[in-house]
Each structure stands twice: as C-alpha cells, then as structure tokens.
Structure 1
Amino acid sequence: MIIIREFTLFGIEHFFYIFGYGGLAVLAFYLPKIFKFNIDKFAKFSGYFILTEKIIELIYRYMVFNEPFTNLLPFNMCNYTLVLAALMMILRSNKIFNLVYFWSIGAILAILTPDIRVAFPNYSNISFFTTHYYIYFAVFYCLKYFKFTITFDALKKSYIYINGIMLVLFPLNFLLNTNYMFLKRKPLRSPMDFLGPWPYYIISLEVVMIVLFTLMYLPFRKKN
C-alpha cells in the first residue's frame, strides 16, 4: 500500500525541499572537481540518468495516479527545457545551451510554487524537484566546465521560439483539455495572480519574459 501525504505550499517542509534538493544539486555540481571525474563523461551520464528518471516518473504517474496520457506529454516549459538540458549535457552543445539558459527561468517559479499534490517520499515529489534542479545544475555545469557563453542573437531566438511553441500549445490545450504552459488557466497560488485575469496575464507574462531575458543576458554583454 502506497501512503500519500498531501503537499503544502510554503509549509516548513516545502522550504526543506528547496534547500535540501538545492544542496544535492550543488554537491553534484562539485563532484567532478572533488573526485576528478571526466567532465564530458559525467555530463553525459547525468543527461542519460535524468531522461531515464523522467520517463520513470511519467510511467509512475500514469499507473499510480491514473493521470490521462494527454497530461503527461512533455509540453510544459520545464519539461522541454529539461529534455534540452539533458541533450545539451550529452552532446556538449552550446547551441542548445543558448535556449536552455534563458528558458531555465521557468524552473525557479516551479520550485517556489510547485504544481504538485504529493509530499516526500512519494516518487512524484522526488522526481519533480530533482528534474527542476537538474536544469540549473546543467546550466551552471556548462558555464563552469564547458565555458559556454550567450549572445544577443540567442536571446532573440529564445524569445521567438518560446512564442512559437505557445502559439501551437494555445489551441492544443483546448483540443486536449490540458493546460500546458498555463495558457488556459493560472496555477493555484502563484505569482501569476498579480498579472491579471485570463487572458491578460499571458500578455503580462510576455513583458515579464522580455525583462527577465534581458537581465539574464547582461552578464554576457561585455564579453560579446
């Protein structure tokens, strides 16, 4: 029998998740330096590991929680960012990094206001925080060990591509009765509550995204 405890947003346990999983991500980041691992092999291992872990999570949610297949497609921002982050680590690709770097901003919102129902030690909870922190682990890993950089052209492409994906997902959400990228409705108790009702909060998010992407580019401006 699987015992499932309910997740409480901003409860004490939530902050343990933030710092606990974050601490593990920091530890993993320094493992190549501590144990003299080959940075390429360790990156590839982490990429294959996280992809396998994500597949197991989707199967678990389908079998245990009976989630519909349409809800398990990798169309949320963090999911396709995660897949790209894993491929970035496996292929050591600066081109993929250009997208993952900017799109990783969504993982912060997910970690602070997670759209999950279950608490630790349920596997869905473990996988949720592990996969979202992996995105930042991969970004900083590529900055530190692979010396990847960002260009202004990458900023423009990241913004254009994300909007292209949104244009596809907007009608798809109504067709499949899903809410990918929260284009159909806002998540409960999130910063989006301050951005207005539907559909105006989507326009507000566009403005916020432009500002955040620009701020994220600034550290690379002098290098370019």
Structure 2
Amino acid sequence: MPDSFFDYQSANAFHAYSTAHLIQIVILIILCLLMFTLRSAIKRKASAKRTIRYVIVGMLILSEVTLNIWYVSQGIWRTRTSLPLELCSVTLLLAIIMLLTRSRLLYSIVFFAGMTGALQAVLTPSLDYTYPHFRFLQFFIAHFAIILSALYMTWVEDYRPTWKSIGVALIFLNVLAVVVGIINYMIGSNYMFLMHKPLTPSIIDWLGPHPYYLLSEQGIALLFFTILHLLFFVLPGSWKQHSQKNNSKEKSYL
C-alpha cells in the first residue's frame, strides 16, 4: 500500500465536484435507492434486518476508530482538532446508540440533524484529501453510514418523526452549540465552525460573516428539517390517501 494512502502530507488535494467527488455522490444515491427498493424484502426477514443494522453500526464504529488511529499514527492528534465534537461526529455516535437501542428520541435527532449535516458534508466537503487517500474514503463512508442509519430506521423499522421532532432536533443543536462553544473558548478550537468559517468552500459561505452566519444557520436548519419532513412523510402520505380515494371511486363504478 503506497505511503500516500495514509500520509497526512499527501499532495493530492481534494477538489469539489471532481470526478472522485461526483462518484461518491452517485454511490450514495445508489445505496439509498437500494435501501428503499429492498425495504419490503428486508422487513420480512429478521436476519436481514439484523445484518444490515449491524453492518451500518460496524461502518460507523470502524470509521471513527480508524480516524483516531490515523490521527495518532501520523502524530497529529490534537485536542483542538481531533475530538469528536463536530456535528457529524456527534450524530455518528448517536446513530450507533440509536441503531443498538432503537431509541425514538435519538432517531428524531439523527434523522433531522444527522441527515442534514451529513448531506451537507457530502455535497460540500470540508476535506483536504482526494481519492484514494484514507481520509477521503473514511470521510465518505462515515457520512454515508449516518444517512443510511436514518433511512434504515425510517424505511425498514418504520419509525416516523412528528412535527414536534423538528423542535427536538433544533433544541439539541442549540444545546450542543452552547456546550461545544464553551469548549472552543476554553481550548482555542473551532469545532462546528462556531468561531470562524471553514477554510474550504462550504454552504456557510452563503450565510454571511461571523457571527451572523450562526443565526442564519438556525433558519437554514429549520428549512431543511421541514423539507425533509415534507418529502419523506407529509407528501407521500397525501399521495397515498389520494390514490386510495381514486381506487375507492373506481370500485364504486364497477
């Protein structure tokens, strides 16, 4: 295996929407479509449900463990940059607990905060390395697994959030931001980009200067959470009811 696969000084820089990046987006779409298409078949077999659930748990744990091994092996583990205090790191840990315990409270947080954060990370990665570097692969596997964990609980375990779940997720984000903000102040870090914007291009660049983008993120989070709820639950429910009414009318004419 070439040294550049692990070397943190690798010169192969990541470029957004390069071929390597677009391939990862396509892979995510395929995985989501497979999960949705096979959901009924998976539901019918307890062994299949258990296997997929533990595979996702394994992906989550392995991505976090190997990341820290990489930090240590490269001599770059630092409290200011390596603690699991980014939003996706926190929701990754919560996703593991959610899958193992089937917690409905954690499901609300992972579905809204986890999915939104992971999707944003996949589309606009804050990443220094491109394929085939370890960090490139670890980054996308971790974020894919967060998204798949929420979709598994939705499509296979039939979990459903309510409108109140959006409020729960927003409260969680604000409490987390306060806690992480205090830690940032104490150790001079920038977890969750609370102190300044990321150095690489991201959606935050569109939200104004610091600290105003922190307020803008509240509205963006509410918007994205609402869109997710509408797309996954409200609109499909309306279409199903409309289809059932049409079928009833057709039967009455027979």
1:86 equivalent in structure 2: 96
Displacement, 1:39? 0.5
Rg comparison, structure with higher value: 2
| Pairing 1:195–2:207 present | yes
1:56 equivalent in structure 2: 66
Do the aligned residues in 2 keep the contact of 1:45 with 1:90 (CA within 8 Å)?
Answer: no
Do the aligned residues in 2 keep the contact of 1:62 with 1:68 (CA within 8 Å)?
Answer: no
| Pairing 1:20–2:27 present | yes
Displacement, 1:31? 9.3
Identical-pair percentage? 26
Displacement, 1:77? 0.6
Displacement, 1:62? 2.9
Structure 1 segment 3-14 matched on structure 2, within 5 A: 3=4, 4=10, 5-14=12-21
Displacement, 1:198? 0.5
Displacement, 1:22? 4.4
Unaligned stretches of 5+ in structure 2?
5-9, 238-254
2:52 equivalent in structure 1: 42
Deviations 1:2-43 (A, max 9, x none): 123221222222212222354356557749948x54313431
Q: What is the TM-score of this pair, normalised by structure 2?
A: 0.78
Q: 2:26 and 2:219 mapped to 1: Cα distance?
A: 30
Q: 1:65 to 1:24 in 2, by over 3 A?
A: farther
Do the aligned residues in 2 keep the contact of 1:32 with 1:42 (CA within 8 Å)?
Answer: no
Unaligned stretches of 5+ in structure 1?
none
Q: 1:88 to 1:122 in 2, by over 3 A?
A: same
Q: 1:94 and 1:171 mapped to 2: Cα distance?
A: 28
2:83 paired residue among 64, 73, 83: 73
Q: 1:18 to 1:49 in 2, by over 3 A?
A: closer
Q: 1:125 and 1:212 mapped to 2: Cα distance?
A: 26
Q: 1:73 to 1:28 in 2, by over 3 A?
A: farther
What is the identity, as a one-letter code, of the residue corresponding to 2:208?
Answer: G
Q: 1:57 to 1:33 in 2, by over 3 A?
A: farther
Q: What is the TM-score of this pair, normalised by structure 1?
A: 0.88
Q: 1:49 and 1:42 mapped to 2: Cα distance?
A: 11
2:162 equivalent in structure 1: 151
Do the aligned residues in 1 keep the contact of 2:40 with 2:156 (CA within 8 Å)?
Answer: no
Do the aligned residues in 2 keep the contact of 1:25 with 1:134 (CA within 8 Å)?
Answer: no
Count of equivalent residues: 223
1:168 paired residue among 146, 160, 179: 179
Q: 2:127 and 2:76 mapped to 1: Cα distance?
A: 15
Do the aligned residues in 1 keep the contact of 2:126 with 2:201 (CA within 8 Å)?
Answer: no
Q: 1:70 to 1:38 in 2, by over 3 A?
A: same
- Segment of structure 1 superposing worse, 163-172 or 60-69: 60-69
Q: 1:61 to 1:18 in 2, by over 3 A?
A: farther
Displacement, 1:199? 0.5
